Structure 1
Amino acid sequence: MEGIYQHFRAEEHAFIDGALEWIVQVEDQYTPRLTDFLDPRQRLILESVVGGYENIEVKFWGGVNQAERRRALIYPDYYEPSEADFQITLFDIRYPVKFTTLTHQKILGTVMSLGMKRDIFGDILTEKEEWQFFVMAEMKDYVSLQLDKIGKVNIMLEEIALDQALPVHTDWQYEGTTISSLRLDLVVATAHNISRQKAKQLVQGKLVKVNWKTVENPDFECEENDIISARGYGRVKLGEINGHTKKDKIRIEIGYLR
């Protein structure tokens, strides 16, 4: 399996090491191994690693089919997994709607300030003034005790059935453009129609993530299917890279969530 490393970036090798340990554990103990919530890039890597083993399978579930963040169940091929194996709880956030406004950033910021890892939480869902989030069932009691405020606002968490989850919106719409290089600062500038200097400041200010990981180097080389988020500007997806123009510009597609 050593050859798997060459297909991924150096900063992703530690995750590959962890994935290999999980698989060995499943092989040795003949029992499934459930992970924390993984982002789409981590799932892609894990799927690639598991693909190198004949008798090991992996399945993902995040509480709903369209979830961005999902837990992985790695299991021997004779095992038949069910949704219950993924141990996911859905909380509805009760708060004084008339007196405050919640945001994804406020909710996530509060959670992180309490010392809870992002990996124990799945998607944060919203529709109009309603907010929900998924969490590892093993941590639901702890989260219920710790999370009684978001910012300065008192809240209550109500556990509800997974089939009451709000809809997940993940519809990418692509626009074609050209770019002189795939440097991160240039991709951010092009995607959001801002100056390259402004994009560079965002990157160096630790305000840009590629595949859910903060990247501080403006020279970072982007690749097809990278998810790039810049705080205050939203998220884009680098689609197909379609060769060069006569002036040696790179033809790319940039996806926007609509």
Structure 2
Amino acid sequence: MLTRLGDYYREALDGQIVLTKFLDLEEIKEINLLNKDGLKVYLYGGYEEAERVRAIVQLAYYEAPEPADFKIAIYKTEYNANYQTIGHRNVLGSIMSLGIERNTFGDIYINNQVIYLFLTEEISGYMIQNMPMIMHQRLEFRKVDAICDDEKNQEVTKEIQVPSLRLDAIIAKCLNISRAKAAEIIEAGNASINHLICKNISYQCQLKQIISIRKFGRITILENLRTTRKDRIVLLVGVYH
């Protein structure tokens, strides 16, 4: 929970540009409450689909921030998968062993044999210099500007037919699971829409929204193509696993 929400509100109203540490989905929901009284909240986590993000709260008439304004340092390394496969939990455990707080770093992005870390600039030097071994491998991280295009998770584009734009229907169809299973995921707080947790299974989704499902991936509703004779909606969606 964001204990400093009131402080952020007052500081931003006074004309300051407030930069938070990395926020999880619940905290993102809270910080968005400050989109009022002439204030605007901006979110960024180092790449477009980031789940954990930093927030900037400022007066709405100020110029919108650039990615550099969020002060996120991106580090990259490669590892030898023939030796041992490294997963998200392995990297997280090694970082947390340094005794730092979870809000000082964002997503841990792993694709094939490449790992990206998204760190607050304030902690990045200490973290990289003191990074312990990960799964018995000593990895050398180097600072980069962004995730390489060919190392991004690939989007699979496909057409789906759903009876409505309900969240549970779209998740079920995209992930090839039952509506009951999709409802369980949503009601457990494991689904979010544009960074905001949604526990409403009947929520009506809209075009261009990003639906994130914890441990499953992300869905983007790209286009409403047509309606069939049986009144089923045909959507073009992008699915990231």
Instruction: Give the aligned partner of residue 249 of structure 1.
Output: 232
Judged with a 3 Å threshold, the aligned counterparts in structure 2 of structure 1 residues 185 and 95 are, in CA distance, closer, same or farther, namely: same
- State how far apart, in whole Å, the 2-side matches of 1:178 and 1:58 are: 35
User: Distance between the aligned counterparts of 1:166 and 1:172, measured in 2?
Assistant: 15
> 1:187 matched to which residue of 2?
170
Cα–Cα, structure 1 residues 36 and 100, in superposed 2: closer, same or farther, change >3 Å? same
Letter in 1 for 2:144: L
Which structure 2 residues correspond to residues 201-216 of structure 1 after superposition, within 5 A? 206=188, 208-211=190-193
> Out of 144, 159, 164, which is 1:176 matched to?
159
In structure 2, what is the Cα distance between the partners aligned to 1:108 and 1:102?
11
Choose from 114, 120, 137 the match for 1:136.
Answer: 120
Which residue among 18, 22, 44 is the counterpart of 1:33? 18
- The number of aligned residues is 232
Aligned 8 A contact 1:34 1:73 in 2: yes
Shift of 1:120: 3.0
Q: CA deviation at 1:190?
A: 0.9
Structure 1 letter corresponding to 2:86: L
CA 1:82–1:247: 2 relative to 1, 3 Å: closer
Is the CA contact 1:70–1:122 (under 8 Å) kept in the aligned structure 2? yes
Q: Check conservation: 1:182, 1:223, Cα contact below 8 A.
A: yes
The equivalences for 1:48-127 within 5 A come to 49=35, 53=38, 62-63=45-46, 66=48, 68=50, 70-75=53-58, 85-93=69-77, 97-104=81-88, 106-108=90-92, 119-126=103-110
Q: Say which structure is richer in helix.
A: 1
Q: Secondary structure at the match of 2:10?
A: helix
In the alignment, residue 205 of structure 2 is paired with which amino acid? E
Give 1:185 deviation, angstroms: 3.9
What is the CA RMSD across the aligned residues, in angstroms? 4.8
Q: Which residue is equivalent to 1:236?
A: 219
Measure the CA separation in 2 of the matches of 1:256 and 1:193. Answer: 12
Q: Distance in 2 between matches of 1:203 and 1:80?
A: 32
* Uncovered stretches (5+) of structure 2, i.e. residues with no partner: none
Q: Matched residues in 2 for 1:234 and 1:82: separation?
A: 27
Shift, 1:131, TM fit: 1.5
CA distance in 2, matches of 1:57, 1:215: 21
Contact 1:38 1:70 in 2 (8 A): yes
Q: Displacement of 1:192 after TM fit?
A: 2.2
Q: Deviations for 1:66-98, whole angstroms, at most 9, x for unmatched residues? A: 563543334466789776653322333475554
Q: Which runs of 5+ in 1 are unaligned?
A: 1-13
Shift in CA distance, 111/191, structure 1 to aligned 2, threshold 3 Å:
farther
1:162 equivalent to 2:144? Answer yes
Give 1:33 deviation, angstroms.
1.2
Letter in 2 for 1:249: R
Q: Percent identity?
A: 26
Give yes or no for contact 1:125–1:166 (8 Å, CA) kept in 2: no
8 Å contact 2:111–2:152 — kept in the other structure?
A: no
